[in-house]
Amino acid sequence: MTMFWILCVALLVIAVLFVVLPLWRSTVKSNHVLPDAANLEIFRDQVAEMDADLQNGLLTPELYAQGKRELQARLLEEVKATDSATGTLVNHPHKAAAIVLAVLLPLTAVGLYWKIGNQNALLPQTEHVAAAGVGTVHTEAALKELEGKVAQNPQDADSLGTLARTYVEQERYVDAAKAYSKLSQLIPNDAQLWADFADTLAMANGQNLAGHPTILLNKALEIDPNNIKALALAGSAAMGRGDFPAAIQYWEHLLKLMPGNSADSKMIADGIQQARTAMAQAKGGNAMPGQSMAGQPAGAAQNAGQERITGTVTLSDAMKAQASPNDTLFVLARASEGPPMPLAVIRKQVKDLPLQFTLDDSMAMSPQMKLSSFDKVVLIARIAKSGDPMPHTGDLQGMSAILKPGSSGVKLSIDSMVK
């Protein structure tokens, strides 16, 4: 930032010199030479007439001498008067303009930049992100500064949004939910904001989407029925409360918006099938082989207490150049054949890699959707550039083979890019 201002000052000096120097050096030619020359010419004509009159005997030598003296005296008086008049004029009238411009040009340039320019454009990235309202801040000093900025101006939606996302990244979900609550009042028509608010509030409530988070998701879908995150979470919330038709409706809509050949679209399709099976069972239909009436795999009760999965996540050498230390990292477990809702999830950062992780039932987002409820799961490690747990093009991820709850020593490598 200091270098930026040094360059600005240098450019201002060059601009001022370019304009001011020509004015300062310029001179105004005096036009009093013209009247002096005219008076001298008149004097000569009159002397010539007097010479002719003297030769012709029309003037006596005495009158000739007297007349010549009078002409000379008059010429001297007129020359003095002209010199006196020109002496009162400014010798360099352009110097005043040069001084005025030397003052006004820098003041005008700085004033215009301060009014319409972006003073944060050359700040360090973390500070610039905070000021622009995009992403998060990553140092305690920057966070304190951002909190102070929001305290001074609670109407600053950009800073408030950055603060909310920073709290989420630091797993301060209660503080993040409060920030999102204030932000939703400032920007009431942003579907993504309501979806993020619902997600954060669910995390603050023990990863439970029931109740108020569901209300927030409904609000998001009222604004934008095609919001990816809101549809995914709304379907998961419906599954959690046993409303299988609603879950099917949300996820079928979501499936239409997803690429047909992606891993996530396959998971959503599996979730729809799981919801249909659970709905048939709830109506007294026949359960699919290996499924209980609650939509859980047979033997889930036996898995309780033994669901913990441990392992290590690493970032492949080929992907290291694509990731930044402060990018968000998600490690989650999903049913290999079931709803796309995570059964357990951890949120960290790339700088925490290699990461030794543990996933268990305490990390479930819904009491009905836990690791112990399924006997086949898949682990996913995703570096989310947007900080959103939903996959986006450009995210980096790695996926395990099908595992059983209770597995340990799992090696998970982030080695591909989401397309």
Q: Is residue 210 part of a domain?
A: yes
Which one of 254, 282, 310 terminates a domain? Answer: 282
Helix runs in 56-190, H state only: 61-87, 94-116, 125-132, 140-152, 157-169, 173-186
Q: Is residue 189 part of a domain?
A: yes
Beta-sheet strands, E only, within 212-349: 309-315, 328-335, 344-349
Specify the CATH number for the domain of residue 198: 1.25.40.10
Residues 275 and 369 in one domain: no
Q: Is residue 119 part of a domain?
A: no
Residues 21 and 142 in one domain: no
Q: Is residue 46 part of a domain?
A: yes
Residues 208 and 132 in one domain: yes
Q: How far apart are CA 391 and CA 21, in angstroms?
A: 61
Pull the structure tokens for residue 135: 């992403």
pLDDT tens over the chain, length 419 residues:
566 677 777 887 887 777 777 777 765 555 444 555 666 677 777 778 877 777 877 778 887 788 778 877 777 776 666 555 554 444 556 677 778 777 887 788 777 777 666 554 544 443 333 333 446 777 888 899 999 999 999 999 999 999 999 998 888 999 999 999 999 999 999 999 999 999 999 888 877 888 899 999 999 999 999 999 999 999 988 888 888 899 899 999 998 988 777 777 887 888 888 888 878 877 654 444 334 333 444 344 344 446 789 999 999 999 999 999 988 899 999 888 766 678 888 888 999 999 999 998 888 766 667 888 888 899 999 998 877 767 778 899 999 999 998 899 999 999 999 87
Q: Domain range for residue 133?
A: 125-282
Q: Are 329 and 169 in contact (CB under 8 A)?
A: no
Residues 217 and 254 in one domain: yes
Sign of the dihedral through C-alpha 196, 202, 208, 212: negative
Q: Is residue 293 part of a domain?
A: no
**DSSP assignments along 376-419, one per residue:** -EEEEEEEETTS-SS--TT-EEEE---B-TT--SEEEEE-EE--
Residues 308 and 403 in one domain: yes
Q: How far apart are CA 370 and CA 237, in angstroms?
A: 13
Which one of 282, 308, 342 terminates a domain? Answer: 282
342 burial (CB, 10 Å; 0-12 / 13-18 / 19+) is: buried
Residues 220 and 339 in one domain: no
Residues 15 and 133 in one domain: no
250 burial (CB, 10 Å; 0-12 / 13-18 / 19+) is: buried
Q: For the chain, how many structural domains are there in total? A: 3
Pull the structure tokens for residue 265: 């679209």
Which one of 236, 254, 282 terminates a domain? Answer: 282
Q: Are 276 and 282 in contact (CB under 8 A)?
A: no
**Best CA proximity match to 239, nearest among 362, 378, 405, 374:** 374
Q: Is residue 292 part of a domain?
A: no
Q: Is residue 76 part of a domain?
A: yes
Q: How far apart are CA 75 and CA 81, in angstroms?
A: 10
Pull the structure tokens for residue 16: 């001022």
Residues 155 and 274 in one domain: yes
- Phi first, then psi: what are they for 356, rounded to 5°? -90, 125
For the whole prediction, is pTM greater than 0.95? Answer: no
Residues 380 and 309 in one domain: yes
Residues 80 and 134 in one domain: no
**DSSP assignments along 39-79, one per residue:** HHHHHHHHHHHHHHHHHTTSS-HHHHHHHHHHHHHHHHHHH
Residues 130 and 278 in one domain: yes
CB neighbours of residue 80 within 10 Å: 10
Residues 204 and 306 in one domain: no
Q: Is residue 131 part of a domain?
A: yes
Specify the CATH number for the domain of residue 384: 2.60.40.1120
